[in-house]
Structure 1
Amino acid sequence: MRLVFGLVLLAGMALAGFAVFMAKDYIGKYQNALEQERARAVEVVPTQSIYVATRMIAYGEQILTDDVRLAPYPKELLPEVFFDEANPLTDADGQLRVAVRQIETNEPIMGLKVSEPGGDAGLTSRLERGQRAFTIKVDVASGVSGFLRPGDRVDVYWTGRIPGNDPNLPQGDVTKLIQTGVQLIAIDQSSNPDGNDATIARTVTVAAQPQQVAALAQAQSSGRLSLSLMNALDDTVAEATEVDQRSLLGITRREQKAEVKALEVCTIRTRRGAEMVEIPIPCTN
């Protein structure tokens, strides 16, 4: 009985091994035929190896080496501007490009969807985590005569009048430093920091935290904002500064001394025998 069981087991193993061999041989022949068919298709349709995306690349992302690969692409369908080994994505200095439009997986990297090497995707790529962009109206006086450039840092001063008749509040117009070291990311509609000509800007856009944005919005709606350009290497923080018309002209407030009014006493005189006596009585107007 055991001998029969052993023979059946050996026969089953032999049949299983033969089946695996046949399947492997069939799969190998199929793969060879598929490769030959692909080779013939490549010969029929002329192709060129260009860079395509290995993943979905979102707007504003830098395009890294692992994000692209070379793949054959029909020459008849090549985009107007593409990238290959002769025209790589990076320049001689290794500067990366940034996606200015979303690029899908396996989509060719086209020139109209990427920036120049070392470029960016606009204002959003210049904002750090938690920052917001805010625009300030300026003119020739408040905008430092047009010498501002994207990337500069400025102090922001507010000039206005504080309402109320409280004698403890500044009198007349007051100028106060409200923000220091704020970075400019755009002048008018330009974010190019390489401009050389001074232009009179009408607006500047700054990068600021939400609390700073709220303060700038309130200040701009209630007074006038002026900018003061900082040195590019200056890492100091300006102290709180406030100047009103009195301190500007050196006028000091005079303290008015209250006059101490003597207590008024009213009396009447009456005779008591041979003496005259003064008796206090309530004073009347």
Structure 2
Amino acid sequence: MVVALVLVLGVALAGAAVYMAQQQISQFQSERDMLMAEQANAPQLVDVVVLRRALAYGERFTAADLGVIKMQEGHLPEGIFHIIATPQDAPEEAQAASVFPGGETRPRAALRSYDAYEAILANKITAPGVDAGIMATLSPNMRAFTISVNATTGVSGFLRPGDRVDVYWSGEVKGEKVTKLIDTNLRLIAIDQSADADRSEETKVATTVTAEVTPEQVAALTLAQGTGELTLSLVGMQNTSDPGAIEIDRNKLLGIQVQEAVKVESERVCTVKMRKGTELVETPIPCKN
């Protein structure tokens, strides 16, 4: 009886152990499946090149100043880099994604300030071997044109590189003072002698601003600046409308309506003269064409 009782107890314990093992295995499998599902739904990460130290505007950097971190794919800004440097025989796609492609060793410069471990962008750094300045910020086939301004004509010192402005001309036309919109949405690339968009002199009144224009706009603005006064108007970031043609003179400003003088032809009177004795008598008669 003792042997039988021990045998029955052993079988029961073995069954309980098998049941507990099956439950544990099922739990492990459920957790594994859940983890695999979460991994499948997790966002994909890609390599992104960042600066390992803070940079000020115009400061140079080399490949030694760069590092790589993981960032979520599909939520990256335009112009991001994925590779620090590539050799000359690397594929074209890898060269385009590299900060220093083709074994390039010349330093690049920052066109704005950067914090440590901030991702760098292609349009915020210069080409290899080029220092920061107006030459580095000009778009292809564009020119730099400098406009003299003061507190009144230069938006009281609130202009910064990267802002966009409308240009108004004020002068005399046929003896009348006129203000006219002559150019719109010009991009400023420098204030005084600084192209730094992060400059700290936020309220400093500039004496000159430099805009990015076409060669034709250079000729037009040169003539306008020599024949009158140019005034800048800051364009808002949310601006989407076209102001169209704007021209204001004194009469339009004050709401004065000028009527052109109409010459009224006086009524023609036809007469016939007759002499009666010593008197000359003039008698009206109907006029004939």
TM band (smaller chain) = 0.5 to 0.7
Q: Point out where structure 2 has 5 or more consecutive residues left out of the alignment.
A: 1-63, 65-83, 89-96, 108-115
| Amino acid corresponding to residue 188 of structure 1 in structure 2 | D
Q: Which residue does 1:93 correspond to in 2?
A: 119
Q: Which residue does 1:172 correspond to in 2?
A: 176
Equivalents in 1 of 2:217, 2:133: separation in Å?
Answer: 22
TM-score by length of 2: 0.54
Q: CA RMSD in A?
A: 3.7
1:1-285 correspondence to structure 2 within 5 Å = 64-68=99-103, 93-95=119-121, 98-99=126-127, 101=129, 121-162=132-173, 164=174, 172-196=176-200, 197-269=202-274
Aligned CA distance change for structure 1 residues 252 and 233 (closer, same or farther; 3 Å): same
| Aligned residues of 1:132 and 1:210 also touching (Cα < 8 A) | yes
TM-aligned CA deviation for residue 234 of structure 1: 1.7
Equivalents in 2 of 1:279, 1:93: separation in Å?
Answer: 100
Aligned CA distance change for structure 1 residues 146 and 63 (closer, same or farther; 3 Å): farther
Aligned CA distance change for structure 1 residues 254 and 177 (closer, same or farther; 3 Å): same
TM-aligned CA deviation for residue 145 of structure 1: 0.4
TM-aligned CA deviation for residue 127 of structure 1: 1.4
Equivalents in 1 of 2:104, 2:270: separation in Å?
Answer: 107
TM-aligned CA deviation for residue 52 of structure 1: 11
TM-aligned CA deviation for residue 235 of structure 1: 3.0
TM-score by length of 1: 0.55
Equivalents in 2 of 1:99, 1:177: separation in Å?
Answer: 36
SS at structure 2 position matched to 1:160: strand
Aligned CA distance change for structure 1 residues 69 and 243 (closer, same or farther; 3 Å): closer
Give the total of aligned pairs.
183
| Aligned residues of 2:166 and 2:183 also touching (Cα < 8 A) | yes
| Aligned residues of 2:146 and 2:210 also touching (Cα < 8 A) | yes
| Aligned residues of 1:155 and 1:228 also touching (Cα < 8 A) | yes
TM-aligned CA deviation for residue 54 of structure 1: 7.3
Aligned CA distance change for structure 1 residues 54 and 153 (closer, same or farther; 3 Å): same
The sequence identity of aligned pairs, in percent, is 37
Aligned CA distance change for structure 1 residues 65 and 100 (closer, same or farther; 3 Å): closer
Equivalents in 2 of 1:140, 1:234: separation in Å?
Answer: 24
Q: Point out where structure 1 has 5 or more consecutive residues left out of the alignment.
A: 1-49, 56-61, 71-80, 82-89, 102-113, 116-120, 165-170, 281-285
What per-residue deviation string (whole Å, max 9, x for no partner) do you get for residues 167-197 of structure 1?
Answer: xxxx521000000100100000000001242
| Aligned residues of 2:85 and 2:100 also touching (Cα < 8 A) | no
Aligned CA distance change for structure 1 residues 263 and 100 (closer, same or farther; 3 Å): same
| Amino acid corresponding to residue 259 of structure 1 in structure 2 | V
Aligned CA distance change for structure 1 residues 254 and 98 (closer, same or farther; 3 Å): closer
SS at structure 2 position matched to 1:64: strand
TM-aligned CA deviation for residue 231 of structure 1: 0.8
| Aligned residues of 2:271 and 2:283 also touching (Cα < 8 A) | no
Equivalents in 1 of 2:244, 2:282: separation in Å?
Answer: 72
What per-residue deviation string (whole Å, max 9, x for no partner) do you get for residues 129-158 of structure 1?
Answer: 221100000000000000000000000000
Aligned CA distance change for structure 1 residues 122 and 100 (closer, same or farther; 3 Å): farther
| Aligned residues of 1:63 and 1:98 also touching (Cα < 8 A) | no
